[in-house]
Structure 1
Amino acid sequence: MSFSLDNICYTWITIPILLITTFVIYFKWKYTYWEKHNVPFIQPQIPFGNLENSFKRKTPPCIEAKNFYHEFKSKGAKHGGIYSFGTPVYIPIDLDYIKNILSTDFQYFTERGRYYNEKDDPLSAHLFNIGGKRWRSLRTKLTPTFTSGKMKTMFLTLLECGKILQNAVEESYAKTKPVEIRNFAWKFTTDVIGSCVFGIECNSFANQYADFPKYGKMLLKGSPWEAARMAFIFSFPNLAKSLGIRRFDKRATDFFTNIVKDTVEYRESNNVRRNDFMQILIDLKNTPTVDVEGDGEALTMEQLTAQCAIFFIGGFDTSAAAISFSMYEMARNHEIQQKVRDEINEIMVRYDGKLTYDGLTELKYMQQVIDETLRKYPSLTILNRQCVETYKIPNSDVTIEKGTQILIPLMGLHSDPDYYPDPDRFDPERFSPENKKARNSFSYLPFGNGPRNCIAMRFGIMQVKTGLCMLLKNYKYSINPNTKEPLELDMGVMCCAKDGIWLDVAKI
């Protein structure tokens, strides 16, 4: 009996020891990857690799990536390697390396390497995530959506949403209340995207269709469980797909799926047409087009829904962040704020007192302010790519193997003093025509670069400019004491102020 108990005790002790030992040996073996490939690396820690701080929510992912960039740059490295748990991740530092990956040698890096699960999570199979021929085909179909002509037809919708924003500021001023500019920007962009993409008048300031921002934020939320889930699907994408793990919350998926389905059915049943993104997508669904891949296929309802979702995510949060951070910096720099306001008034005089699409394109100094805002606070803080074919880095003995994940830390790149002296200072003159011309264009990548750059860049800029015009034309702003400075960033995937940005409003 004692022999049997001894064996049981021995087994209960031995098995965990063997499992732990195997676990440690496995990770130590995985952590030799970059050393074997002659790439500088930051010493990882089992089992998190180099992502312990962001995984435990001690540091926002964008700041952790920024720190990686500056650590490699400080050592004179042209590139570096980190680990996401056991997955090697390559970080290019040299601008020529970045240019090769995004543009010159794009054929080796056509994938973003982002997880999507079309079977269990159809919303995740959107243009931003998919790759290969499917991406090329869909990109070709969607590119006409964002021509200048299409932008011009949608500008009147933006203008109407801007007037609602302006009225909301007036109400706050009348009540002598500060505005939480991030929340105001969110409501404005929700109204714009709700109308331009879904054909629905959200009227967010009256809290109609409150589900739009609710489910939009749900798609972007960050939490301890979310961090663990994202780390798992990044490190083990094939296993995640086989387990049916979703990228998006099912409640949000169901909400957007039903909204799109109802909108499409209503328009087709009642022969309703509008000058918006939804109509363009419906036309693509009903009209097969032969593209560069020669597929001649129409857009499916699942594809249509996925594109609506990513248009909403991209237009709702990124533009709202650009507006709120621009307003924050202008509230801290009154001379810059006044210069932008003077430019708005000058352009409106030129166009008979009206804000027009053509006038918007002539707001050159405002564009510099937006550019500087996106340098300091890029909405998308990391660019991802994946190597699809083994690639030898020119003029080096380093090879990037097929399947390797690539990470370009934009906050690191945009805060590099070699390109932007005194990078913490907000200075729109960095983006004057002469200064832009003198600087390598790959040192500034808020919309990416190359064939997989942001397809909706022009729409995003138009939305931000419209919002800023409506906010600044009749009011001036200063920092309210409720704003906690220095700003602390949220732990989510986007660059966002954790505690909000409160501004005092004064009428001009």
Structure 2
Amino acid sequence: MLLYVLVLLLALTWVYLKWLSVKRYWADRGVVHEKPHPLLGSFTFLQKVNPAIWMRKIYDRFPKEPYVGIWVFWRPGIIVNSPELARRILVKDFDCFRNRLAGTDTGKVDPIGGLNIFTLNDPVWSAIRRRLTPVFTSSKLKSLHHLYSSKAKELTQRIANDIKNNKTIELRNLYVDYTTDVIGTSSFGIKLDTVLTGSSPLRSITGTFMHYGALRGLAWCSIFYLPELAKVFRFNLFPKSSVAYFRRVFKQIVAQRGGYNGKSEENDLLDALRKIKYDSDNNGEVMDEDLVIAQAAVFLQAGFDTSASALTFLTYELAYKPEIQEKVYQELLQAKKALGDKEFDATVLSELIYFNCVIKETLRKYPPMGWLDRVAEKNYRIDDKLTIAKGTSVYVNSMGMQHDPDYYPDPDRFDPDRFLPENDDGSRPYMPFGEGPRICIGMRFAHRTIWYAASQILLNYHLQPMPGTKTPVRCEVDHRGLILAPGKETYVKFVPRS
């Protein structure tokens, strides 16, 4: 009995001394820091506050500090608040910050969640990225014009039908129906009518993807912040039932196209993935099918909800800003008249100055994620005072920088004029899609998804606030997920334009 007590005391003593060492880590290096919690480190906000909102609070709590020390539970990490240092990490010194913490070997327990281009680490990441990049060029996306156009028109028709039937229109679900159709059809060749009906087999998958209960929220936090815990508890990035269904659908479509070596004229994401596997297998690089399916799954996950949330925030802001709404409407109307019988396409929409200022301001205020995470591949000298150790997690605080009043005065105000050519020389921090070699591969796709939907909505409807709803400044965001998305159902009134 005495031996057990002695062992316990020694263990507790070791833990206590270890804690004292952890607690002093940033103080010993002269770095301003958050006071750590004995168990959670700096992450006491998890499941209570969206990480993007927490990032902004850190930025505001330590004004003018280029970096802030934190603890990812007991592991030291650092938040970067300096645009210059951020560009070094993301661009200039990218070779030292090629990887993400979420890509730390989670693929063995969660192949679909851990082997996708978002979480993958080198050398597999660079190989997959290189082969997928041609799918997202402007010339390739140009071929999707008719899909974007038809789905945007169906979106306005859906709103008209709901108005006629006296249905309340919840924005996020409305736009998820639209983005599910766009991604499902353009990427996997699945013919869908979700935007008109509100349901489809693929919509059931995106429905589960967008729900973050307590367990899934814990799983995501573990994967992105403490992958060792994710491996122990075998957490998955996506719900297992949805992954099983998606895997069956994916294999069925591949089989319909003749397998991985069959010829196809679809020329979409699925065909690109088929070719990657076919070429790899022929070159003696046997590629597991899960690696291919993982890219399809993450494109669906990363694309449908981020674009839908951006459209939700844009619509909600404009409902409360009639003068901005009218200005962008007049620009769209003039462009429409100039086209005559022709339709908007990506080229025309990309050249509408104020319309794109509205979109940029939406993404400034509501970036899809509030930070960009990297891991130091070797010891890295930040400045004359600090060298961070190999393996340190680095979080570029994009949310904080995009709400810094020195760069964006009155940052909570929705003001597209910030991005007019005469007001924007490109020097201010703005990175809703990331920056550098790991910039979001689907950025052009996302812009088109937003362009077509927003232009049709604003041409056909005047947006007004619903009585009793909160103003955008007080709008709640989801506190359990990692994406910056609305936390509650969001409504506006759609008034048909004459």
TM-score under structure 2 normalisation?
A: 0.91
Give matches, 1:434-445, under 5 Å.
434-437=422-425, 440-441=427-428, 443-445=429-431
CA distance, structure 1, for counterparts of residue 281 and residue 388 of structure 2: 37
Call closer, same or farther: CA 1:225–1:17 in 2, change over 3 Å: farther
Structure 2 residue aligned with 1:122, among 111, 133, 140? Answer: 111
Give matches, 1:302-381, under 5 Å.
302-353=290-341, 354-381=343-370
Alpha carbons 1:414, 1:444 under 8 Å: kept: yes
Asked whether 1:472 is paired with 2:466, we answer no
Asked whether 1:33 is paired with 2:31, we answer no
CA distance, structure 1, for counterparts of residue 468 and residue 286 of structure 2: 51
**Aligned twin of 1:415:** 403
Structure 2 residue aligned with 1:218, among 196, 200, 208? Answer: 208
Structure 2 residue aligned with 1:168, among 158, 171, 193? Answer: 158
**1:371-395, Cα deviation, whole Å (9 max, x unpaired):** 000111111222111101111124x
Alpha carbons 1:112, 1:129 under 8 Å: kept: yes
Q: CA deviation at 1:287?
A: 3.6
Q: CA deviation at 1:241?
A: 3.3
Amino acid aligned to 2:38: I
Aligned-residue identity in percent: 31
Q: CA deviation at 1:216?
A: 2.8
CA distance, structure 1, for counterparts of residue 225 and residue 161 of structure 2: 49
Q: Secondary structure at the match of 1:436?
A: coil
Give matches, 1:61-72, under 5 Å.
61-72=51-62
Structure 2 residue aligned with 1:496, among 485, 488, 491? Answer: 485
Alpha carbons 1:27, 1:47 under 8 Å: kept: no
CA distance, structure 2, for counterparts of residue 267 and residue 416 of structure 1: 50
Q: CA deviation at 1:33?
A: 1.7
Q: Secondary structure at the match of 1:81?
A: strand
CA distance, structure 1, for counterparts of residue 168 and residue 237 of structure 2: 37
Asked whether 1:301 is paired with 2:293, we answer no
- Report which stretch shifted further, 29-38 or 401-410: 29-38
Alpha carbons 1:154, 1:276 under 8 Å: kept: no
Give matches, 1:46-61, under 5 Å.
46-52=38-44, 54-55=45-46, 57-61=47-51
Q: CA deviation at 1:326?
A: 0.7
Call closer, same or farther: CA 1:235–1:192 in 2, change over 3 Å: closer
Q: Secondary structure at the match of 1:126?
A: coil
TM-score under structure 1 normalisation?
A: 0.89
Call closer, same or farther: CA 1:29–1:224 in 2, change over 3 Å: farther
Q: CA deviation at 1:159?
A: 1.4
Q: CA deviation at 1:153?
A: 0.4
CA distance, structure 1, for counterparts of residue 186 and residue 157 of structure 2: 20
Alpha carbons 1:80, 1:92 under 8 Å: kept: yes
CA distance, structure 2, for counterparts of residue 183 and residue 397 of structure 1: 49
Call closer, same or farther: CA 1:308–1:95 in 2, change over 3 Å: same
Amino acid aligned to 2:86: I
Alpha carbons 1:44, 1:50 under 8 Å: kept: yes
Call closer, same or farther: CA 1:243–1:319 in 2, change over 3 Å: closer
**1:161-180, Cα deviation, whole Å (9 max, x unpaired):** 11211111111222344422
Alpha carbons 1:483, 1:499 under 8 Å: kept: no
CA distance, structure 2, for counterparts of residue 296 and residue 147 of structure 1: 28
Asked whether 1:101 is paired with 2:93, we answer no
- Report which stretch shifted further, 445-454 or 113-122: 113-122
Alpha carbons 1:347, 1:362 under 8 Å: kept: no
CA distance, structure 2, for counterparts of residue 471 and residue 235 of structure 1: 38
CA distance, structure 2, for counterparts of residue 453 and residue 106 of structure 1: 12
CA distance, structure 1, for counterparts of residue 157 and residue 208 of structure 2: 28
Q: CA deviation at 1:106?
A: 1.0
Structure 1 residue aligned with 2:99, among 111, 128, 132? Answer: 111
- Report which stretch shifted further, 112-121 or 88-97: 112-121
Q: Secondary structure at the match of 2:394?
A: strand
Asked whether 1:143 is paired with 2:130, we answer no
**Aligned twin of 1:247:** 237
In the alignment of these two chains, the number of paired residues is: 489
**Aligned twin of 1:277:** 269
Q: CA deviation at 1:297?
A: 5.2
Amino acid aligned to 1:182: R
Q: CA deviation at 1:221?
A: 3.8
Structure 2 residue aligned with 1:459, among 445, 457, 460? Answer: 445
CA distance, structure 2, for counterparts of residue 422 and residue 289 of structure 1: 55
- Gap runs ≥5 in structure 1: 1-6
Q: CA deviation at 1:209?
A: 5.4
- Report which stretch shifted further, 190-199 or 482-491: 482-491
Q: Secondary structure at the match of 2:236?
A: coil
CA distance, structure 1, for counterparts of residue 111 and residue 86 of structure 2: 31
Q: CA deviation at 1:444?
A: 0.8
**Aligned twin of 2:65:** 77
Q: CA deviation at 1:276?
A: 2.5
CA distance, structure 2, for counterparts of residue 50 and residue 432 of structure 1: 38
Q: Secondary structure at the match of 2:484?
A: coil
Alpha carbons 2:368, 2:483 under 8 Å: kept: yes
Amino acid aligned to 2:33: F
CA distance, structure 1, for counterparts of residue 235 and residue 169 of structure 2: 39
Amino acid aligned to 1:484: K
Alpha carbons 2:370, 2:484 under 8 Å: kept: yes
CA distance, structure 2, for counterparts of residue 173 and residue 336 of structure 1: 24
Structure 2 residue aligned with 1:90, among 75, 78, 92? Answer: 78
Call closer, same or farther: CA 1:360–1:223 in 2, change over 3 Å: same
Alpha carbons 2:177, 2:199 under 8 Å: kept: no
Q: CA deviation at 1:402?
A: 0.8
Q: Secondary structure at the match of 1:101?
A: helix
CA distance, structure 2, for counterparts of residue 273 and residue 302 of structure 1: 24
CA-based RMSD of the aligned residues comes to 2.6
